[in-house]
A and B are shown apart, each in its own frame.
Chain A
Amino acid sequence: MQLRTLVWREIFERKNQLATSFLAILLGITAIVAIKNITFYSEKAVSRELDALGANILVLPKSATVQDYYSADMQDETFPEAYVTQLSTSDLKGLDNLSPKLSVPVTLQGRKFTLTGILPKSEFQAKAMWEGAGIFTRPEEGCGEIADMPDVFKPPVKETLVRKRVIDDLGPEEALVGADVGQLLKIAEGDYLDLLGQTFKVSAVLPQTGTVDDSRVFAHLHTVQEMTDQGAVINAIEIVGCCQEISAGLVQKINKLLPDAKVVTVTQVVDTQVKTNQMMASLSTVFLVIIVLVGGASIANYMYANVFERRREIGTLMALGAGSSVILRMFLLKGLLLGLVGGIGGYILGTVFAVTFGPRLAGIAVMPMPVLVLWAVGLSVGIALVASCLPARNAARLDPCATFQEI
């Protein structure tokens, strides 16, 4: 027999009394794991959206909504490409990167896709008046960094690098194909595509991004303009702006410069998501406080009762030669076990909940996060041990003889 045998047997002998406090800690940990799990993926979704956008200011036609831009990525309305020149030649500070875009619907092998015209980096450099332009990417460092914005993760840079490389040079008869398009139509690099009567060579299939980009085909902006007979128009300009300048009213200044366009910042785009995340974060704090208070009090209460009920047994152990440290360890080990099982159980339940209901609650896919098990167990064991401390010390200090005479 070992101390843990003793503790384990006692737990199973009187498991009913334990049930309430165990349930308190189990459900508390479950709730907190579920919230943390969902929040993590929700925040990831935000950062992915920002990354896909690659910019933090959008210039859109007056009547277009941000949702249009996101969901369908199609606007019937356009505005002159001259706006880009107007912006770049203005004396506005903090414009790091301008990416004009024109999107039109196309049909490929009977399926509908979006053809988006973009300006390759080489053209920007040829014009020489814009510095460091990249279509989808924002500078990896410097003032345009989205990471400076509150509640938003720094986007993963790796994913964008591939795109950046291929977008550096895009010939008038070359096309880039989004991952989903490539997969659906079985298109590979080097293949030829017929788009609106013109043949394009596929210079790359873009890696999966989990965004609308995956179901798009990209070609040179000017080629798309010619093909659609629309003249020099675009329906969006993505801008990487300096955060300091944005907070200093850059959006308003652009608005003044281009009164016929609509200027929005990305924070507005992902606003609902960010709001959900903030709510989740505060909910998680509330739960943390509740679980510490309720779980801790419930365990402490149970432990006191348990010590009282077992004082005769404690006296017997002392009579048999158990020192106070054995008694102390006996109750702390019980607290530890309680916390351990509650933490692991709570992690499993919470993860199952998050994965099952995450998509319905937050509209995002949620995967299990093994790292949360450490978090759950740490918290649960911490609470259980702290709550068991005083009762265990009381038990260790019991007057052994008193424990016999009362009964």
Chain B
Amino acid sequence: MLRMEGVSKSYNHRASAVTALRDANVQMDRGDYVSIVGPSGSGKSTLLLMLGGMLSPTGGRVIVDGASLYDMTPNQRAAFRKKNIGFVFQTFNLVPYLTAVENVQIPLFLAGKDEATQRDQANRLLERVGLSDRLDHKPSELSVGQQQRVALARVLANDPAVILADEPTGNLDPETSKQVIDFLDELNKEGRTIVMVTHDPRAAERAKSTLRLVEGTVLNGKAEPSLIAHG
């Protein structure tokens, strides 16, 4: 369960404060599939990063599975992310000098698994996203869609209960976008909570509910059912 209680965030930008998020109260249940939509600059990424324990709010609390993220030390938060949270980025953020399989191994390495286990699990995860014939390719030797699939395999490596995706299809062609969305669907059916920021209406409509953000304000605190998908 994810909950934001009166969360606000303002950035200090050249002595003037920019408010990116204003008194956000949001609740998402376990197994939810939530899309976050809104105009550019409305604070979507800010909200997502704060949910993942990557960005301290200026005020309020973020609670994941009963734990208040920002009452922890940074290292405790890192350990919490390692166990519970997976990020998917618009630009994939693969480590450029590591091969596909090594990129997927990173979370397993961070979790302290031995090398044989790492290699084994990473192979299986890449197989799952249909890349078993690209194990030893570097990101620069993969197509954009393949890169995103490596990133998805990497997210699954630590078997997170919550997946946070920031415009996961933003850089993809329609066909690949569809594959990624299908895959996220599948992960949601496995019982994982998915929160996805997107500009793509077709992606948004696949979610069970939608959060709307305008100029840092959440329009509907309890995510409303997605109009198109659920009537």
Contact = CB atoms under 8 A, between A and B. Distances in A.
Interface of A: 1-3, 5-6, 9-10, 12-14, 312-313, 315-326, 400-401, 404-405, 407
B97 A405 contact: no
Contact of B95 (A3, A313, A318, A324): A313
B93 interface: yes
A313 B106 CA distance: 12
A204 B102 CA distance: 73
Nearest to B107: A320
B110 A318 contact: no
B83 A2 contact: no
A313 B94 CA distance: 8
A53 B95 CA distance: 69
A388 B201 CA distance: 48
B216 interface: no
Contact of B97 (A9, A322, A323): A9
Nearest to B114: A2
A272 to B, nearest CB: 55
A6 B118 CA distance: 14
A2 B93 CA distance: 20
Given A2-B109, A401-B54, A321 B82 contact: yes
Contact of B105 (A1, A10, A321): A1
Given A1-B109, A405-B45, A320 B81 contact: yes
Given A320-B107, A321-B107, A324-B75, 15 more contacts: A6-B98, A10-B97, A12-B97, A13-B97, A318-B54, A318-B81, A320-B81, A320-B82, A320-B110, A320-B154, A322-B82, A323-B78, A324-B78, A400-B54, A404-B49
B8 interface: no
Contacts of B111: 321
Contacts of A1: 98, 102, 105-106, 108-109, 115, 118
Given A1-B102, A321-B82, A321-B83, A326 B110 contact: yes
Contacts of A316: 89, 93, 95
A12 B49 CA distance: 32
Interface of B: 45, 49, 52, 54-55, 74-75, 78-79, 81-83, 87, 89, 91, 93, 95-98, 102, 105-111, 115, 118, 154, 158
Contacts of B54: 318-319, 400-401
5 contacts: A1-B109, A6-B109, A318-B81, A324-B74, A326-B110
Contacts of A320: 81-82, 87, 106-107, 110, 154, 158
Contacts of B158: 320-321
A13 B81 contact: no
B45 A322 contact: no
A132 B49 CA distance: 90
Nearest to B118: A1
Nearest to B138: A13
Given A5-B102, A401-B49, A401-B55, A321 B95 contact: no
- Top 4 A-B residue pairs of the complex, sorted by shortest distance between their CB atoms: A321-B82, A13-B97, A401-B55, A323-B78
A400 B45 CA distance: 13
Nearest to A400: B54
A321 B158 CA distance: 10
A91 B108 CA distance: 88
Contacts of A313: 93, 95-96
Contacts of B118: 1
A1 B118 CA distance: 7
A14 to B, nearest CB: 8
Contact of A319 (B87, B96, B105): B87
B81, B91, B93: residue with the most chain A Cβ atoms closer than 10 Å = B93
Given A324-B74, A324-B78, A401-B54, A407 B91 contact: yes
Nearest to B45: A405
A5 B101 CA distance: 13
Nearest to B49: A401
Contacts of B115: 1-2
A318 B108 CA distance: 14
B75 A321 contact: no
A268 B115 CA distance: 67
B52 A319 contact: yes
A42 B105 CA distance: 55
A5, A10, A322: residue with the most chain B Cβ atoms closer than 10 Å = A322
Contact of A323 (B52, B79, B105, B108): B79
Nearest to A325: B75
A14 B95 CA distance: 13
Contacts of B98: 1, 6, 9
A326 B111 CA distance: 11
A79 B105 CA distance: 89
A150 B91 CA distance: 69
Nearest to B75: A323
B49, B78, B97: residue with the most chain A Cβ atoms closer than 10 Å = B78
A329 to B, nearest CB: 12
B26 to A, nearest CB: 18
Contacts of A318: 54, 78, 81
Nearest to B113: A1
B115 to A, nearest CB: 7
Nearest to A321: B82
B45 A317 contact: no
B96 A13 contact: yes
Nearest to B48: A401
